[in-house]
Structure 1
């Protein structure tokens, strides 16, 4: 193995070795990842095209769904191309600066998507519990401000880890057992105490995505309490159906992410190949399934997608 050029205490590049212990399965894993990534690109692109083209879908609920689709595209695209390159042994190297940029992009988009899911929960709360004021509360201006605040929050949280990693001495260590760059994965290569990195990651995670989760739970608790008091027994199932897609997406997004987040820092008994495999799944499975869930469960989207596909079919015949 070649010795990396060292600039100061930083290696010039890192070598990503994929999933340790599963090298013989890299080809099959890469095929699965490639298929899921292709499905995510297609599904989210169709979803975005449908919402952008159909004026009747230019409402807060669908604008937030557009934001979610953009986040899904960016999250998977920030990781999967390099992952496939590593699994196919095309290029296992990534520069130190490139590694930090990838890490920043991944967590920046993750935190933005978490904020969008919270905004969608608030949207459902207003739509169900205070429908008469829905259009006056969630105006286009408010939705735009939510988007701006989401980006500012993600940037402010993810800017410090860049300096926390730059301050560490790496003593020439540059071999990383992963398919892409994660904060703690990079920090563990340092030959110094990384307690600050670990606790900053824990604090940032719980004060952002963790707080988002708590607020989402509170929103749905209020929604269910509101539905419980509805006079019409038929109203509750109809209203719950509008929340079902969102709840499925929330479960897929937060469950593997929090498990991976906590296990990376405190789960010493969790096998490394399990952690890395899970880290690869949570950046590609939700982006693949989200447009399917919303397309199937949301009648307006399904009808407009079918309409676009019919128009495409007619156009190709002509």
Structure 2
């Protein structure tokens, strides 16, 4: 979300830029003036970090980067890193690698897609989650067959993932991504015909949409761009031929876990953040178990 000194609407696709280094995105703000500051400009304070200007105004102390013993933290409590898009780049790389592998060997998709059972009973043998292939809940999140499908998902992952990774930190961001994707897969498994195959990163992407909306609201930025993009994507979701169940499941999981990430009180931050993720994950597992029991 691009920071503007006038306080006008900010772009929902990027984090604020350091007020001293406009080319650097950051999710950390000075605890006194609330201006965005990058790791080089952070000065360790009794609570959080301050910018060099505020430090100069109150003390002649050190104005350089904070010591290694006191690492800067993001708004969600994650560690600020030199490359705030590393995990996003890795996720995109994995998706592209799986896509290329499927193009080379199309039959590979048969072993990766999310499917309840195939062919439908009583025509044995079965394959899919009913047969215990739970790994499909994960592999289907990285499988794409159509060029337009992976192109759209990877562009969305780049636009949404980078700012979220910088704001949440790598571990929390990756947890959000997988929890959202698994929740989307669970709802798809519950509501879609067990003989219909589903694949793609859309569930996880919609989870990032939900978390982005929560983050934008938490930072009191203009929510209209995010809402507009979300509405457009939801319209496409119900236009036919798309597993809207994965989108809704991922979106709900993203909003719930994203809210816990950015609103958890500091003294119980880890418990609330990861506890919420665990509860969403348990709900996804319960849905999967119940649906499997219905089909067997």
User: Shorter chain as normaliser: what TM range?
Assistant: 0.3 to 0.5
TM, length-normalised to structure 1 = 0.32
